[in-house]
Structure 1
Amino acid sequence: MYSVNPQAAAAWTDLFGWLARDSGVELDVIAHAFPLPLSDLWSRSDLACAFMCGFPFMLAAHRPRPVAAPIPAKAPTHGRPVYATRLLVRADSRFATVEDTFGGRVGYTVADSHSGYNALRHHLVPYYRQRGARLYRDSVGPLTTPRRVLDALSAGDIDIGPLDSYALDLMLRHEAELATKIRIVGTTDPAPAPLLVAAPDCPDEIVTRLQATLATFAEAPACAGLRDRLCLDGFAPVEIDDYELMLRWDAEARAAGYAEPI
């Protein structure tokens, strides 16, 4: 999910290498990038540690085992494993606010994404209630990944698009030039960050060792460079009840008759 560019992908490989060494759990790092479905990754029986969005986690009939939640260095609430969605437009566009984009084209990632769909709807529901009508002439998707949201903006295929705030932090950390190409015109309310999960049948001993090692990441001297490269302060225990927020936002949007972000 967060291998948003080659530099970030290399940093994650290094992190999982450290995790394997310090935990004593043998981990094979596998490449699972677009267009491969994330659902295929999450359903692997040998999964030990992979990111999963909280929304599909809560919707899953057989949930994976929670391992840990990341604490982004620029989390909306400092020191907490939370994130938000940045609503982006092109830097050279005429749009100054989210409202300015109404009547245009909005992008989304996938319908079971929190940052790229559920949070976007939640942010737009008050406007929908006020207007009593659709906000955009077209809803463009599934764009699937943060990178493809940026590509759609750049190509002029959409006027506004949602981007996971932590994914954007990683992109800007390694691609500073992006800051000249996009503007943030809105930010959603914070929500629990995507969590690291293991397969439902992953042994207790493995999950416990991974959790204990990830808990040391924030202070481990060997990880100082990784914390910078990954824009991470550390990892926290997963509080599953916090993720109920995502189901509430979904229910509220549907109750308002706003099933899609248009």
Structure 2
Amino acid sequence: MTWIAALPMYNVTPALATVWREWLDDVLRRVSPACHIVEPDEELHGFWRRPNVLLSQTCGYPLVHGLNEQVQVIATPRFDAPGCAGADYSSVLVTRAESQFDSLAACRGARAAYNQDDSNSGMNVFRHAVAPLARKSAFFSAVLRTGSHLGSLRAVIENRADVAAIDCVTFAFVCDELPELAQKVRQIGLTAASPGLPLIASNNVPRATIETLREALNEAHRTQPERAKRLRLKGFSALPLADYERIEQLENEARAAGYAHLV
């Protein structure tokens, strides 16, 4: 079997994507030099389920909604970013820098943007934050699905939406790489925390190789401190799958409050 790998999640700019690819190549050379780094040519749900994925990264929401049956969690990165605590992360609630909104509660009747229906950081924790404010009714006047966190930021900046929830790691990278965008929005809150985006492998990867991958992650981190700083990496945690049940808990709390959908 020819192993493949890809890191599709935090490539905020082409320059940052290059650094992530260099990091991934370093990790793989320590584990399986013949593994091919690829650009997924299909939607990510299909890619993550391919039987020859040696290393990739997914969102926790699809992980707990069926993907966990076909993949193994290798490790969860710990990031140096405001809104992160250990291997947990939150989302930053943002509005335009010049808008009148000073809190999420003040956004009743405003327009929301979110990235994807299956995003924990862009949709699930956003829904959870709105749920106690909505009082079992529609909270926003319109909801726009943008396809990405950068798309949501641009929707807010371009006055196509008023508020969005942005993965705090993504937002930290935007501040680093695209400061002109970051300066056009203002933070008005932070969502509840949950485990961060896990690194995963196919169930076909032997357990011994999973352990070798974990060792390679830590070694690549230790030997390239400047690169780790650029990628805001503090290290990796081997979280049990049960920790990701926190994501379902947030979903269930929103549903119990009568707010099943971001509306």
- For normalisation by structure 2, the TM-score amounts to 0.90
Q: 1:4 to 1:32 in 2, by over 3 A?
A: farther
**What's the counterpart of residue 212 of structure 2?**
209
**What's the counterpart of residue 83 of structure 2?**
76
Residue 64 of structure 1 deviates from its aligned partner by 0.8
1:146 aligned onto 2:152: no
Tell me the distance in 2 between the aligned counterparts of 1:172 and 1:28: 31
Paired amino acid for 2:51: S
Residue 66 of structure 1 deviates from its aligned partner by 0.7
Residue 74 of structure 1 deviates from its aligned partner by 2.1
Paired amino acid for 2:64: M
Gaps of 5+ in 2: 1-8
Instruction: Summarize the alignment of residues 130-209 of structure 1 with structure 2, pairs less than 5 Å apart.
Output: 132-141=136-145, 143-209=146-212
Aligned pair count?
A: 254
**What's the counterpart of residue 228 of structure 1?**
229
1:18 aligned onto 2:26: yes
Residue 77 of structure 1 deviates from its aligned partner by 5.0
SS of aligned partner of 1:227:
helix
Tell me the distance in 1 between the aligned counterparts of 2:39 and 2:84: 31
Note the alpha carbon deviations across 1:107-144, whole angstroms, 9 max, x for none. 12222111011101111111123xx4321111111x22
SS of aligned partner of 1:94:
coil
**What's the counterpart of residue 67 of structure 1?**
74
Residue 215 of structure 1 deviates from its aligned partner by 2.7
SS of aligned partner of 2:187:
strand
Instruction: Summarize the alignment of residues 218-257 of structure 1 with structure 2, pairs less than 5 Å apart.
Output: 218=221, 220-221=222-223, 223-257=224-258
Q: Show structure 1 runs of 4+ deviating over 4 A.
A: none
Note the alpha carbon deviations across 1:158-203, whole angstroms, 9 max, x for none. 1101110011111212222233111111100111001000112122
Tell me the distance in 2 between the aligned counterparts of 1:26 and 1:171: 33
Note the alpha carbon deviations across 1:33-84, whole angstroms, 9 max, x for none. 8xx5221221122111111111110111623111110000126354x11110
1:91 aligned onto 2:97: yes
Residue 211 of structure 1 deviates from its aligned partner by 1.2
Tell me the distance in 1 between the aligned counterparts of 2:150 and 2:24: 23
- For normalisation by structure 1, the TM-score amounts to 0.90
Work out the percentage of aligned pairs sharing the same amino acid. Answer: 26
Tell me the distance in 2 between the aligned counterparts of 1:27 and 1:87: 38
- CA RMSD in angstroms, aligned pairs only: 1.8
Note the alpha carbon deviations across 1:221-258, whole angstroms, 9 max, x for none. 3x112111111111111221111111111112222221
